[in-house]
Each structure stands twice: as structure tokens, then as C-alpha cells.
Amino acid sequence: MHAETLLTLGVAALAAGLLARLGRRIGLPTVPFFMGTGILLGPHMPWPPVVHETETWQLLSAVGIVLLLFHLGVEFPLQQVLSSGRRLLLAGATYIAANVSGGLLYGFLLGWGAAEAMVVAGIMGISSSAIVTKLLVELRRLANAETPVLLGVIVVEDIFLAVYLAVLQPVVGGAGGPLEIFVQIATSFGFLLVLLVLARFGARLVGALLNTEDDELLTVAFFGLAVLVAGASEMVGVSDAIGALMIGLVVSQTVVRERVEQQALPLRDLFAALFFLVFGASVQLGGLGTVALPVLGAVLLTVALNLLAGLLVARMYRLNQRAAANLGLTLLGRGEFALILATMAATAGLDERIGSFTALYVLVLAVLSPLLASASRRLARFIPDRVMSGSWAYVQHETMSSGCPHLGEVAQVEPAGRYEDGCPECLAVGDTWVHLRSCLVCGQVGCCNDSKNKHGTAHFEETGHPMLRTIEPTEDWWYCYLDEVLLQRRSDEQPSR
């Protein structure tokens, strides 16, 4: 019996790794290929299955959920979120409000039931941090101006996930009435509060419990702690995913955080792959046809809501059209959190179509997200200047993919000194010039790069002042040397002369 289990586990893991490697070569994330392996090797195919719906496979899947959420908690940038201010929280809330409310309405429209609608809202409302971060790396956008905002949105979504799981657990768990639902929600939040207090005041004790110079012993200790707290959460009626996330947050405040994060990463990747694989094996192919149209509607709605949220957040941060398109399309990916919610729904005995709906929805978006995100530049061309905010707009066809974070260094708009007769430095040496530019930091006037001496650029190279403006009567634009971004005043506003 043990030999058969080991054999099937080895075959499944090896097949998942090979298929996912093929996916990587064509620029797609690994999640749909792990799920696809589970579908191919699962019990709903015409050939003998490799992955069975047994307690062993379910246990491996549960450990995958625990390690996914535990590692997320460990790497959670709590101090960054607390110091980011209300604007970041508002940006995250914009995405959550758009996608979760849209998902909830869509769930009710499907007519599968109130509990199912809440699950659909969570599935459609929360991005996959794994897919999103992988896209940022593969598309080389880590240095983009919108990337800190994008990562901040993911963090706020993760906070929302913990709260949403706490609320959702008693609803999908079949609580008998309003009073029982209230008691279970209060229990969930009480458990969360205990772990938050532990993170605030008991991190030193937890750090001392885990701290050892031996990496092997450290791995055994944090694994045991994560599984223990997840099991305790399940026993008190709270999702094991919440317990794993919160104890990870506690560990993130300890002295061993970086070592735990490093040691947990390969464990997380292995067991998470098994979780996706087991979920794929539970998908009934016959049910995919019944959810094809609902999934198509959900995908179209998700794309539209994400683009709307991207525009709103870009206006909030005074970013350009390309950044708005990047924000909307990069956050399209759905993955691990959607599958966790679908697993909760299956465990609670909700409508069986939830599993097929989630599998197909995640698969479609996992393929669409990198394709659309890589084509965001084309979409940006169709976003008119008037929908963006601020007095200055990034020129659509001349900007890089990143925005300009140096607007805050602008200290002086009016040119300094006497420049009515031309470039002061060119006049001093008896040379000619073409056009005049003025530094937006100190007001220094110099000639353009079409001029012989290029005094405007020379001033930047000498002082490091990043931004200048044209002072030609027929032009009205700014330029940032560091980001190579051109900005122009909107056509519907009066020039500042």
C-alpha cells in the first residue's frame, strides 16, 4: 500500500513539474499547469487514475494551504502597510469594492444560492499574489512607478482575505441561524484578536521558541507551529487558512523572520503544487460545459472591473495611461485564494458547480492575464487624457512604461534670471542656440539639445536636478531626465504663463 502511494505521488509530482516547465517556456504561470496535471491524472478521466480522492491526498492538499498562507503571513510587510497612509488603503479598497461587489452581484445573478454568491464574490474579488508578482518579474516592471501601488493593493487584499474568511466560514459551514452565525463570526474574530495580540506582545517569545542556529531544527519547528495553529483554528470553527496566515504574521515580527521565509519557500512551493494538483483532480470534466457561459461572463466582468479600478487608482496617484493599463491588467490573475475558497465550498457541501466554475475561471484568467498585461501599451493608447487627473498628463506615445516619481522635487516653475535675449550661457561665449529650457528645481535657463552647447542637459548633469520645462511661447511641456518621461499640459486647461 505504501509503495503504491509513493509511486503515484512521484508520478504526479514529476508530471506536474514537467508540464509546468513547458508552461514557463511560453510565458505562462505554473498554477494552471499544476491544475491541468491533476485533471489529467484524476479519477474523472477515461483512463485509470493516478491521483485518488483519498485521505492521504487530502492531507497533502491541506498542508499545501497551510504553508501557502503561513508563508504569506511571514513575508507580510505589516510596517510598510501601517506607514503607507490612507491613500494606499483607499487604492486597495477601490479594487476590493469593485471586484467583490461585482462578484457578489454576479453570484446572485447565477442563482446558485446566497452562500455560493459569497464564495463567488471572494473568488472573483481577490488577485493571486503569486501570479501577479511573477508577472512583474517576467515583464521587467519591478522598477515601474505603478509597481509599489500594485504591490500595496495585493497586501490590502491579503488583509481583506483574512477578514473575509472569518466571515465566510460560518456562512458556508451551515450555521443554524443568525445567532449561531454571529457566535461563530465572533469566535473567528476573537481567535484573530488573540493571534494579533500574540504578534504584538508575544513575538519575542515565539522567536525564542523557534530560534536555533540549525536550519534543520528551525524548519521542523516552524512547520510544527504552523500546522499546530492551523489545526487549532479548525477545531474552534475557524478556517485553517486563517490560523496559518495569522501565525505567519506572528513569526514575521520575530528575529528569525528572514530565515523562516527562506527555509519555508521550497516547502511552500512543493506542497502548494500538490494542493493545486489535488484540486484539479477533483474537477469533473463533465461539469465544465455547464459553467462555460457563467465563466465567460465572470471573465469579461473581471476584466472590465479591473480596468475601471486601474483607472481610478491611476488618477489617485497621478499616473499615466500606461500605468493605469498595467494596474488593471496585471492584477487580473486569480489562483491560490480562489481555489482555497472553492475547497471550503466543496467541504461545506455547497453547489458542486462551484468547483468546476473556479477551475475554469482560474485557468482562463491564468492564460489571459500575462497576455493582456504584456499588451498593456496598446490598450493605453485608447485611454483619453481627459479621464486622467491632474494638470499634467504623461504623453501616451512618448512615455516609458513607468511613470515619473520626481514631480515632488519641483520647487520653482518660473524661469530665473534674464533670458529674454536668449540662452545666458551661449550669449556669454558668443554662441548660438535653438530653443530655451528652464530647470523646475532652481529655475536655471539653458538651451535645448538641438543647440550646439546643450546647456539644459549640462545643467542636469552638473546638478542632478531631474526636471525641466520648455519656455518656448508655442510649447507647454515638462521633461524628466531620470525617467525619460515627457509630460504635457492638458489641452482643456489654460497654460501657466
In the predicted model, is pLDDT for residue 24 greater than 70?
Answer: yes
* Mean pLDDT confidence for 49-53: 83
> Quick check: 184 and 237 in contact, CB under 8 A?
yes
In the predicted model, is pLDDT for residue 408 greater than 80?
Answer: no
Residue 1's pLDDT band (cuts 50, 70, 90):
low
Q: What is the pLDDT of residues 258-272, one digit of tens each?
A: 899 999 989 988 998
> Which of these ranges, 285-289, 353-357, 386-390, 492-496, has the smallest mean pLDDT?
492-496
In the predicted model, is pLDDT for residue 132 greater than 50?
Answer: yes
What confidence score (pLDDT) does residue 187 get? 75
- The rounded distance, in Å, linking the Cα atoms of 449 and 315 is 32
Residues 6+ apart with CB under 8 A from 40: 15
What confidence score (pLDDT) does residue 41 get? 93
Query: How much of the chain, in percent, has pLDDT values that exceed 90?
Result: 27
Residue 175's pLDDT band (cuts 50, 70, 90):
low
Q: How far apart are the first and last CA of the chain?
A: 84
- The rounded distance, in Å, linking the Cα atoms of 241 and 347 is 14
The model's pTM is 0.66
What confidence score (pLDDT) does residue 446 get? 92
Pairing of strands 467-470, 445-447: unpaired
In terms of CATH architecture, what is 2-380?
Up-down Bundle (1.20)
What confidence score (pLDDT) does residue 120 get? 96
Domain 404-489, CATH homologous superfamily name and number? Zinc/RING finger domain, C3HC4 (zinc finger) (3.30.40.10)
Residues of the chain with CATH 3.30.40.10: 404-489
In the predicted model, is pLDDT for residue 293 greater than 50?
Answer: yes
